[in-house]
Amino acid sequence: MILPIVQTGNPVLRRVGRELAPEEIKSSTIQELIESMRDTMRAAPGVGLAAPQIGQSLQLAVIEDRSEYTQNVSAEQVKERHRSTIEFHVIINPKLTQLDESSAEFYEGCLSVEGYQAVVRRAYRVRVECLNERAEPIMIEAEGWYARILQHEIDHLNGKLYIDRMDSRTFTTNENLVSYWKAGQ
């Protein structure tokens, strides 16, 4: 089921999500929520979706960067962002650690700040310790674009949006990004 995505200004986006207990994760309610979040993320389309974005203040996010999402992206941009296909997966109750001091700045958008983007500096390499959709502990080490997605979604679980971290002088509509910024002006 496709769920409505809440937009900035909705108080749920500014709350720290509630952690989920293992028994709760395995419940049909949460399993159905995960399926609906996957369907909603794909329909948007997006590379991640956090529970607060669909009105649920929970420590739960889904992530997937499908190969078709980079079909219209230049090989240079894919390489520059260290971007590759990321299989669908779930992170629950995540704990994020920056692995070193390296960082990268790129334009970032959000399904809950529809129609806008801005440059955001993010850690280049991170580790995430969390539970998966079966309530099993997992550890993810990521770099580049995948690290950015993880940080963006975990921010949502902690009541933050990319606009809290952006270089405000780069904040632009999607249309102006294409017309001016990507054109080199």
CB 57 within 8 A of CB 73: no
Q: In what order do the strands lie in the sheet with 172-173?
A: 103-109, 116-123, 172-173
**Residues 148-175: tens digit of each pLDDT:** 999 999 999 999 999 999 999 999 999 9
Q: How many CB atoms lie within 10 A of CB 25?
A: 21
Q: How does residue 185 score in pLDDT terms, banded at 50, 70 and 90?
A: very low
Residue of 91, 116, 108, 85 lying closest to 37 (CA atoms): 91
Place 37 in a pLDDT band, splitting at 50, 70 and 90.
very high
Task: Name residue 10's amino acid.
Answer: N
Task: List C-alpha distances in Å: 97 to 109, 128, 136, 140.
Answer: 22, 6, 19, 10
Question: 100-143, pLDDT tens digit by residue?
Answer: 999 999 999 999 999 999 999 999 999 999 999 999 999 999 99
Joined tokens for residue 147: 């690290």
Q: What is the mean pLDDT of residues 43-59?
A: 98
Domains within the chain, CATH numbers bracketed: 11-181 (3.90.45.10)
Residue 10 pLDDT class (50, 70, 90 cuts): very high
**pTM: predicted TM-score of the whole model, two decimal places:** 0.94
Q: How many CB atoms lie within 10 A of CB 50?
A: 28
Whether residue 112 contacts residue 53, with contact meaning beta carbons closer than 8 Å, is answered with: yes
CB 55 within 8 A of CB 12: yes
Catalytic sites, residue numbers: 153
* Residue 42 token pair: 């794909």
User: Which sign does the torsion angle of CA 139, 144, 149, 155 carry?
Assistant: positive
